[in-house]
Structure 1
Amino acid sequence: MKITSISTYHVEPRWLVVKVSTDKGIVGFGEPVVEGRARTVETAIQEMSNYLIGQDPRRIEHHWQAIYRGGFYRGGPILTSALSGLEQAMWDIKGKALGVPVYELLGGHVRDSVRMYAHCHGETEETLGATARRRVSAGFTAVKLAIDGPAWPIESPDWIDAQVARVALVRDIVGSNVNIAVDFHGRVGPAVANTLIAEMRHLRLMFVEEPCLPDNPSAMADIAHRTTTPIATGERLFTRWQYRELLETKAVAVVQPDLCHVGGIFEARKIAAMAETYYVSVAPHNPLGPISLAACIQLGACTPNFLIQEHPTLDDRSDIGHGILVDPFEIVEGSIAIPTGPGLGIEVDEDALEKKKTNGVWESPTLRHGDGSVAEW
């Protein structure tokens, strides 16, 4: 089997899909994207295609090593995200060629369904409360909300009280049998993060995500060692090498590899195995589309220390495949049954992709403090 062509689709709202075709008529799909830099990633895919076209797509690990190590400069969001989507597509091809789901090639399933958590948004108490009620009514047993931005590295008591009140509101609505995670999104410094976590302790959070930016593992570890609230991070990290220090310093209770950024399905499985030796759980990051979700479900199916899967919860349900997949995913009582179809377990509607194509332009929001300086998003 040989790869004959590699093509890409920019898809609403901000997704990039890669299609890898072979001379046997088997095609694979992946989702490689850096939000706000989709066209840059597309260029990286085209450059990697020079190596991949003519190669046997079933030699996934060999090609991963050749692309990652062969360029001398390695890692980072652009190159690793491009590689991630191509890797997903090659697993899709290999599973289809063998007639089995990807998780069967990674040891077989260890669970029958994958638990999901939904995003919980709302600028006012009324809209936040309404969203929380919808998520619980839809059957989700876990939700996540973010602290307000922009935020100063050192914040006022009023701002801190307001963040605690927002989470307390959601807790009152969902009750004690639903998990709540809070995403700090790296918006505050470690000093404020410590205060916020302490003030939210009574709300018994599932985890706090990115209490500070993840590029200083010692700062993250200091936060983790001051609290009993589980700390999660990893969406902005690439490959297993960037996770090593977080694990060695006991900075996290939950790692959050993004399968569209971290290096793909198998790289995320390697990170999960590393985390397992430190008794750390895995909750893959996913604010993207249904192909990304399909890859995540394959990982969750075969990973013993899997905790829960992020779900963007878009109103048009395109995030679970409506308008993109022939058979969209179904969330039943907050979980998705693991698929039994080959490869990623999905069939992409290419005509639908064509209808949803865009020019790939999407800019990440840039927040400003009151004095005009740039704030963390």
Structure 2
Amino acid sequence: MKIERIETFLVPPRWLFCRIETSDGVIGWGEPVVEGRAEVVRTAIDVLAEYLIGQDPLQIERHWQILTKGGFYRGGPVLSSAVAGLDHALWDIAGKVYGAPVSSLLGGRVRDRARVYAWVGGDEPAAVADQVAEQVAAGMTAVKMNGSGRILPSPSVAEINDIVARLAAARSALGDSRDVAIDLHGRVGVAGARRILHAVEDLHPMFVEEPVLPEHMLHLADVVSSSTVPVALGERLYHRSEFVAPLNAGIAVVQPDVSHAGGISELRRIASLADTHGAMLAPHCPLGPISLAASLQVSFATPNFLIQEQSRGIHYNATNDLTSYVVDPTPFTWVNGHAEYNPLPGLGITVDEAAVRAADQNGHAWRNPVWTQEDGTFAEW
């Protein structure tokens, strides 16, 4: 069996899928994408496909090593995401060939269900409370929300109080038996992050995500030690070596993205590295159905798994949602805030190829917003 064809598809709202077909007719699907730069990753896939065509698809680790190290210049979001999508598709093929879910090929499941969280929005506390109440009514046991919108790198007292008020509204709607996490998105500086962590401490968030930017990692230990709030990050890190410093700084949760950090192969290794530091895995995944299916395969097989991000109903998906490109939505039906174990082979989903090909005819050119402060200077989105 050899790899015969590799195709990519730009599908709304902001995703890129790849399809690998073998000489035996086995097909694997992956989701290689950098949000806002999908076309660039598509080109990277074309270049990497030069190596993969004609190869045995079951030699996944061999291919991962060559795809990530075969070029003199390595890493970064574009190349790592391109490798990630190809890696998903190869694992999908392997599972279908062996008649087993990818989690079984990773050593077997260690849990029967994986906890997921839902995103909530709302600029005012009352709106936050209403959205959280809706998620509680739907059976969710955890939610995540942006800590703020546009904010000054050195936030004012009013801006910090707004964060606290919105988090307090979520906590009130959730009670003490459910969880809320907040995402700062690297929007504030180091000192601002310390002040925010201290301010929200009494509300006991499950974690505060990305309190500082990756380029400020030198000061991460100071941020982590400034409060008892668990710190999480990792969506903009692409290799296990990049997680060493934050783990040494004491972060509690790693958040690699299976579509950015080298795929299933590397996500599993990052989880193991985190385990040696007593940290938990909460895979980043505000993306499409293939990315989520790949993430869940790792989540079911990982002992130090905490919770899984998922994008069903998220604001990005106004035109197309998780179920738009799959034949059966059952794997993305949450039961009491959990994804049930999926015994189907490969990634456990059947991609609606006709829908994907039709969507690719129009494609997309999604770009993230570019924000500025009131004085015209750049603001982190």
Q: TM-score range by the shorter chain?
A: over 0.9
Q: Is the 8 A contact 2:103 2:297 kept in 1?
A: yes
Q: Is the 8 A contact 1:181 1:208 kept in 2?
A: yes
Residue 337 of structure 1 is matched in structure 2 by: 340
Partner Cα distance (1:196, 1:319) in 2: 35
Q: Does 1:373 align with 2:377?
A: yes
Partner Cα distance (1:373, 1:299) in 2: 41
Secondary structure of 1:117 counterpart: strand
Residues paired across the two proteins, number: 376
Unaligned runs of 5+ in 2: none
Residue 104 of structure 1 is matched in structure 2 by: 104
TM-score, reference length from structure 2: 0.96
Q: Is the 8 A contact 2:13 2:320 kept in 1?
A: no
Unaligned runs of 5+ in 1: none
Partner Cα distance (1:307, 1:318) in 2: 30
Q: What one-letter code is carried by the residue in structure 2 that aligns with 1:303?
A: T
Q: Runs of 4+ in structure 1 displaced over 3 angstroms?
A: 315-321
Partner Cα distance (1:33, 1:157) in 2: 38
RMSD: 1.4
Deviations 1:256-288 (A, max 9, x none): 010000000010100110110111000000010
Q: CA deviation at 1:88?
A: 0.4
Q: CA deviation at 1:173?
A: 1.2
Deviations 1:309-351 (A, max 9, x none): 0012316799874221111121110001121011101111111
Residue 287 of structure 1 is matched in structure 2 by: 286
Deviations 1:203-262 (A, max 9, x none): 011000011112332311111112111000000000111111112232x10000100000
Residue 299 of structure 1 is matched in structure 2 by: 298
Partner Cα distance (1:6, 1:313) in 2: 28
Q: What one-letter code is carried by the residue in structure 2 that aligns with 1:326?
A: V
Partner Cα distance (2:265, 2:30) in 1: 13
Q: What one-letter code is carried by the residue in structure 1 that aligns with 2:373?
A: H
Secondary structure of 1:122 counterpart: coil
Residue 49 of structure 1 is matched in structure 2 by: 49
Deviations 1:25-70 (A, max 9, x none): 1000000000000000000000111110111111111111111111
Secondary structure of 1:72 counterpart: coil
Q: Taking every aligned residue pair, what percent have the same amino acid on both sides? A: 47
Secondary structure of 2:324 counterpart: coil
Q: Is the 8 A contact 1:283 1:307 kept in 2?
A: yes
Q: Is the 8 A contact 2:268 2:298 kept in 1?
A: yes
Partner Cα distance (1:117, 1:299) in 2: 16
Residue 324 of structure 1 is matched in structure 2 by: 325
Secondary structure of 1:215 counterpart: helix
Secondary structure of 2:271 counterpart: helix
Residue 154 of structure 1 is matched in structure 2 by: 154
Q: Does 1:204 align with 2:204?
A: yes
Q: What one-letter code is carried by the residue in structure 1 that aligns with 2:274?
A: A
Are the structure 2 counterparts of residues 319 and 227 from structure 1 closer, same or farther at C-alpha, using a change threshold of 3 Å? farther
Partner Cα distance (1:245, 1:209) in 2: 16
Q: Does 1:191 align with 2:191?
A: yes
Partner Cα distance (2:62, 2:113) in 1: 31
Partner Cα distance (2:215, 2:94) in 1: 35
Q: What one-letter code is carried by the residue in structure 2 that aligns with 1:349?
A: D
Q: What one-letter code is carried by the residue in structure 2 that aligns with 1:34?
A: V
Q: Does 1:349 align with 2:348?
A: no
Q: CA deviation at 1:137?
A: 1.0
Q: Is the 8 A contact 1:80 1:262 kept in 2?
A: yes
Q: Is the 8 A contact 1:320 1:330 kept in 2?
A: no
Choose 315-324 or 176-185, whichever is displaced more: 315-324
Q: Map 1:68-147 onto structure 2 (within 5 A).
A: 68-147=68-147
Q: Is the 8 A contact 2:12 2:363 kept in 1?
A: no
Q: What one-letter code is carried by the residue in structure 2 that aligns with 1:96?
A: K
Secondary structure of 1:66 counterpart: helix
Q: What one-letter code is carried by the residue in structure 1 that aligns with 2:357?
A: E
